[in-house]
Each structure stands twice: as C-alpha cells, then as structure tokens.
C-alpha cells in the first residue's frame, strides 16, 4: 500500500522556518569522488536504509556524476550539471579514487538550511531540476543565499556526514 504525501511549496516553508529562527548557515566540507557522466545517463540516487531519493534527467555533455564519501548513506551518487559542478567543486589532491573516479573538494559555498521537523511532516516538493523530491523529518532543506530558487533536500544522514554547521539556527 503506497501513501500519497502532501505537496508543499518549499520556498514558503523556508520563509516560515526563517521567521521562526530555524535557519542556519552551513557548507559542504567533505571531499567527493566524481566522474564524467555519459550523455543520456540517468543517475538514481539511493540513500542507504531509505531507498530511492531522486532520479536525474538524462545527462548532457559535460555533466558530472558525484559520489559522496559517506558510508552511513551508502556513498550516494547524484548528477550535477557542468556549470554547477565547476561552481561547487575543485580538483582535489590529484589522486584517482579508481580508474573512473577522481577526488574533488567542495568550494565551500555557504548555504542556508533548516531541518525538517515534525510540524512539516513528510512532504513532496519540486526540486530545481524539475523532479519531485521527498523531504522527511530530520532532513535538511538547503538554499543558496543568492539564488533562493536553488532549494533542495539533503538527507539527514548525508547532511550530518558531509556538511559543517557555521551558524546554528537562533530558535527552535
């Protein structure tokens, strides 16, 4: 039996969390592995213990497949568009993680975030790339400060594993 989750406006939720003092600042700080995507390739992001998180649109030339280094989440993979990848990551120590994968380090872009609470419950929203994304209690909703339309979910375990908190929310 499947359950239909409510669809919510994540921008409106973010504004409400901000008004309640629940928004902090964080940045991704853990190295990742990445490889060039094959044109047309679809990446399905699986979170260990949760299942499918997202399914990408077909990759275009220059897009990259990124793999988090987070055993707690199963080292999930996701597709990043070429322009976003160049903005978000820089080459790491030059070592290859394997024949296909190379290390990259986050560029330390700061994002605003709030943690989905019981008051929001589990819900569905439209991610910036046009796909439906499920948010669950304990997940982080992150937003680039200079681009509020770039708001997406980071699984709770992944957020804890790959981000550092720079400013904690001031309220509950």
Residue ranges of domains in the chain:
1-29+108-172, 31-105
Q: What's the sign of the alpha-carbon dihedral 18, 28, 117, 77?
A: positive
User: 165 near 26, Cβ under 8 Å?
Assistant: yes
User: 114 near 22, Cβ under 8 Å?
Assistant: yes
Split the chain (172 residues) into runs of 10 and give each run's mean pLDDT.
68 91 96 95 92 88 96 94 91 76 92 93 85 89 88 92 95 64
Q: What's the rounded Cα separation, in Å, for the pair 71 and 60?
A: 28
Tell me how many degrees the CA angle 77-12-106 measures, rounded to the nearest 5.
Answer: 30
Q: What's the sign of the alpha-carbon dihedral 126, 136, 148, 162?
A: negative
In the prediction, which pLDDT does 25 show?
A: 97
In the prediction, which pLDDT does 50 show?
A: 86
Q: What's the rounded Cα separation, in Å, for the pair 83 and 85?
A: 5
In the prediction, which pLDDT does 145 show?
A: 85
Tell me how many degrees the CA angle 62-67-68 measures, rounded to the nearest 5.
Answer: 135
In the prediction, which pLDDT does 3 show?
A: 55
């Amino acid at each position: 039996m499947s359950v239909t989750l409510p669809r919510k406006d994540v921008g409106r939720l973010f504004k409400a969390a901000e008004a309640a003092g629940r928004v902090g600042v964080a940045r991704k700080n853990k190295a990742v592995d990445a490889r060039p995507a094959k044109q047309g390739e679809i990446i399905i992001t699986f979170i260990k213990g949760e299942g499918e998180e997202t399914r990408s649109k077909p990759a275009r030339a220059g897009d990259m497949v990124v793999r988090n280094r987070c055993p707690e989440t199963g080292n999930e993979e996701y597709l990043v568009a070429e322009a976003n990848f160049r903005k978000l990551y820089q080459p790491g120590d030059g070592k290859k993680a394997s024949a296909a994968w190379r290390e990259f380090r986050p560029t330390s872009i700061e994002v605003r975030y709030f943690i989905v609470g019981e008051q929001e419950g589990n819900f569905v929203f439209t991610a910036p790339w046009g796909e439906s994304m499920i948010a669950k209690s304990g997940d982080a909703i992150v937003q680039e400060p200079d681009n509020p339309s770039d708001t997406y979910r980071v699984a709770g375990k992944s957020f804890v594993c790959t981000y550092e908190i720079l400013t904690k929310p001031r309220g509950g």
